[in-house]
Chains A and B, each alone.
Chain A
Amino acid sequence: MTTPTPSPASPASADTASLAVDMRSIVKAWPGVVANDHVNFEVRRGEIHALVGENGAGKTTLMNILYGLIRRDAGDIFVNGKLAHIQGPRDAIALGIGMVHQHFMLIPVLTVGENIVLGREPTTAGDIYDAARVRQEIGELSRRYGLTLNPDDKMGDLPVGLQQRAEIVKVLYRGAEILIMDEPTGVLTPQETTELFHVLRGLRAGGKTIIFISHKLKEVLDISDRITVMRRGKVVGHLITATTTEQEIARLMVGRDVLLRVDKAPANPGPVALAVEGLTAASDSNVPALRGVSFEVRQGEILGIAGVEGNGQSELIEVLAGTRKASSGRVLLGGKEITNLSARAIRSRGISHIPEDRRGAGLVLNYSVADNLVLGRQRSARFAWNGFVLMLNAILAWAKRLIAEFDIRTPTPETRARALSGGNQQKIIVAREMASEPLVLLASQPTRGVDIGAIEFIHRRIVAQRDHGVAVLLVSAELDEIRSLSDRIAVMYEGRIVSFEAAETPEERLGLLMTGGGRADAAASKVAG
């Protein structure tokens, strides 16, 4: 048996028997990446324990190991003081561990009841599914924890908040004593988050142990009792919530003090570059996602769109970029209507787009860096003769120029984009979209999942674009990013711009607006609606 290696910040000594979970020296490596490097992780019974770290720090891997979804390469797991042999979720469930995943593990075509009891279905003779008992048992659980659900509803018809509730009931139904919540608030509105925290506290009062994975420090400080911080696959700190501060956690998470402000000169806005009037559009599931959005972006300014994810920001950007059709309203570029033109036409008219899904949309991962640097412009006169025959030399020259200019760290222009780090992948997109000298730059989550160095680089570049006279529309889930980059802020809520705010607006006010509160000056939404 391995003895746990003492970590730099050793945990507050606890009686082993009082530990619900004790993971010792866990190692998990993928080729080229060590996701968990001798991680020690202890959770006391009956506490809410926050596991924090940046995207990619190894939190989810660690929890997937605890839940049996991933096999560890080395290390031991003790549950309630006993060495646990976890080969799969089945073992974890038997040990009283339940997990609510970031991406819900729900099956839309099945009913709520079927989803909840899946894997532990009550049956009558002959393996027949006992729907009556399912209703009764879920009814009991719902009453006990105040989590109302109708077992006969089709899961796919429920809103996100209720789906998460079903996930929690699902875990409780399995008799879980230890609940792992992986980024549970990412998809929730602040109200739903408050409600969730209420439920979690109730569960803690009922003796359950909760592991709360998050990178949102305010929430962590609000809900947790103790905190474990991870960075780059290693545990870098064990903290007690009551005695720590946001800054301390942030410093541990990123390894140095986070640069919160971007140095930039005051904006010097020119004429209106992009104007949006009464835009409406439907989401993929065909429900209204944009309910009348109007705004203007001027040359040389950055308009930040703040909002909880899922309030129509993605759809707005897609409509502007031409990958989604607007059902009504107009988009004007420099006074000329471009509504519902094709993505190619819009791009050729001078709108660049840094998409939120870097690996899925912004890059063809199996293409070379050079090929990715012309993605979307493969038919432009610059790279293709008559828009058809590629001019490989021109592409290569262009690639070499951008690689140098944007410091893309790649062995050769022919290297596949897949082989590059996230930051360098993002730089490919940023380089491509900025180098084509656009009139308007749509930047959606431009620094998500990117290392600090690349974040700074990208932020500087966005500001440089603004100073160059480009109209920038910035969408980000990070309020800090919005506040430090934007010259003006538009707050989006439920498919509408509910308010335009100045860059200096306090975070609290933005938070309120983002969640549908503080509509004192709802004039904007009236104009929009």
Chain B
Amino acid sequence: MRHLRFRFLALGVVLMLAVPLVAACGSTTGGGGTTTGKTIKVGLVTDTGGLNDKSFNHLAYTGLLKAEHDLGVRGDVLQSVTQTDYVPNLTHFAAQGYDLVIAVGFDMQVALGQVSQTFPNTHFAIIDGSPTDANFNPVPRANVLSLFFREQEAGALVGTVAGVLEKDQKTPKPTGVISAVGGQKIPPVDRYIAGYQWAAKMADPSIKVLVGYSNDFTDPTKCSGIANSQFGQGSDVVFQVAGGCGNGALQAAGQKGVYSIGVDADQGFVDKSVIVSALKKVDVATFDAIKFIQDGSLPPDYQATGEAPCVASTRSCTEFLFNLKNGGVGYAVDNLNPLPSDVQTAVTNLENAIKAGQQTPPETVS
């Protein structure tokens, strides 16, 4: 034991000295693939959820990887441990002269408001938010691009699925109760739930929608507990809007033999109970933002009503809006494939109505 440890130490010292020599020969940089534009440097700063959040941080990173591959940009990532890391992490990339620094998440609005002022010549993008001052009041920044999503539209589509199934008594235990588990009562989460609630009630006016918040985006046991309690109250369809935590709700539904609805990405693989998923293409948005900074190309129909159009030549833009119409949000059919025809019809009708502007799902939970 004793000698073994000495040997390990010796080994460690040798390795420590030897490895860098080997590694020095093969320094790696991102790249490859089909390079279409100039090589720019993109820094991605996650919020405290980290890259493995199975949610938007991860999706944003997927978008960055795609951009590295397709656009030949160089991408680097910093994961934030605490909220006080946001400023130094954003600053790190900006000070290093990165062309675009992407802040992932609503939580980083204040930090971005501060850093984007310090580096007026660096491009910034933020997912789910816009720069604010310390008092959380929005501040206009010419160098910041906000990437917003109409989550309520995706929520409405899956809400229609749940509502029609419930009305048809085609859910596992038809009770007229469905539910949603949110990670936290913040706008991106509540927009999903608002649409879900609205559409389900439209499909089945007698339906009861339970809403619970886990106050957590990572720990699956928290969400499975809340989902289980909702099942106890009669719910037989649960919509998770809580990232990695919400996976616990999907799993709990599987164990209870009821339906679940995935969020953000296509989550059909997580559990057999997932009938559909509400999609929020953070990866696409990230990619589009990078591409815009690189070559000025704009995503289709990105513009919200009342917003000034982007200027491609100066890369000046304040907001990209991703909605059903431009494919930035949507839904995927998973383990209830195909959907019953009346469900599919109702979903398609609503989808078209929203795209056409005939229906507007609410942004806040009633």
Direct contact of A and B (CB under 8 A): no
Chain A residues in the interface with B (C-beta under 8 A): none
B residues with a Cβ closer than 8 A to A are none
